[in-house]
Structure 1
Amino acid sequence: MKVYTKNEEETKDLAKRIARLLKPNMTLLLEGQLGAGKTTFTKGVAEELGIKRIIKSPTYTLIKEYTDGKLPLYHMDLYRMEDMEEEDLGLEEYFYGEGVTLVEWGSFMAEDLPKEHLKVLIKVNSETGEREITLDAQGKEYQAILERLSHE
């Protein structure tokens, strides 16, 4: 499924629509070049979950936990993991816990991620600033999310 957004607000609105359909143990993989809008997308999810804290990319901390919303939100950034030796980071505790996990740059550790997930690929048109957001569902629960979105 492809969705086009013209600005940050529209990107956040799409994220909010998706967040309304999320349940505990769900994982979203966010991909796109630097500055594409992965953290903006995460801000939309957080707002819909009722999280009041400021959302920042966890580039230097790996994982940020936001537990003050309807569901806990675990925001991971695996960008710095690209060249690291394989380590047991305990990520499965997040993926199979009580919250929702958003993973930026998950492709760097694809073998450690849940097989069922929603991949969100964000591409930016450098001339217009418009985003092309491709949503790819792996698993029945995630396919149901895309079906619901397509009917809205």
Structure 2
Amino acid sequence: MILPLPDAEATRKFGVALGRSLAAGTVILLQGDLGAGKTTLVQGIAEGLGIQDSVESPTFTLINEYLTGRIPLYHLDLYRLEPEETEALHLESYWDGLERDLGIVAIEWAERLQYKPDNYLQICLSYCDSGRQIELIGDCQLFDWPSQG
């Protein structure tokens, strides 16, 4: 499924709607160029989950945990890591461990993972003539996908 997102506000709004519809245990693998809207989308997801904390990209901390919303959000950013470095972090605890049933995991720069969970939603953000677009890859039947607007 590919949807147009003309600007950052549309990306945030889509994230809000997505955050309202996702279930605990969802793993989101985010891909896209710098500035394509990955963090903006996660900020919207957090808002949709009722998280009122300021959501920033965990580029230097690698993982930010937001535990105050309807469902906890685990926000990971692998930008500064080489693929072989991600293996040493044992990130599978976020999708195979206790957190799996408790929260949503959103991973920016997910293409740097050397291993992926069995089930996930892949979201690719990219630039296009009309601004941005988002491509959702996965079993779209599992979620009540938000419409644009």
Q: TM-score range by the shorter chain?
A: 0.7 to 0.9
Structure 1 position 110, deviation (Å) = 3.9
CA gap of 1:4–1:81, structure 2 versus 1, over 3 A, is same
Partner of 2:113, secondary structure, is: helix
The reply to whether residue 131 of structure 1 matches residue 117 of structure 2 is no
Distance across 2 between alignment mates of 1:115 and 1:87: 16
| Alignment match, 1:122 | 125
Q: TM-score, normalised by structure 1?
A: 0.85
> Per-residue displacement from partner, 1:86-144 (whole Å, max 9, x unpaired)?
64323222224111000001111141x2121111100013x65x11100001x5xx532
| Alignment match, 1:60 | 60
Distance across 2 between alignment mates of 1:55 and 1:13: 15
Structure 1 gap ranges (5+):
none
Which amino acid in the other structure matches residue 20 of structure 1?
Answer: R
CA gap of 1:86–1:4, structure 2 versus 1, over 3 A, is closer
Distance across 2 between alignment mates of 1:4 and 1:85: 34
Partner of 1:103, secondary structure, is: strand
Which amino acid in the other structure matches residue 74 of structure 1?
Answer: Y
Q: TM-score, normalised by structure 2?
A: 0.86
CA gap of 1:133–1:62, structure 2 versus 1, over 3 A, is same
Counterparts of 1:14-29 in structure 2 under 5 Å? Answer: 14-29=14-29
Partner of 2:105, secondary structure, is: strand
The CA RMSD over aligned residues, in Å, is: 2.1
Of 126, 145, 149, the match for 1:149: 145
Q: How many residues align?
A: 144
Identity rate, percent: 38
Moved more, 75-84 or 27-36: 75-84
Instruction: Tell me: higher relative CO, structure 1 or 2? Use CA pairs within 8 A at least 6 residues apart.
Output: 2
Distance across 2 between alignment mates of 1:91 and 1:116: 14
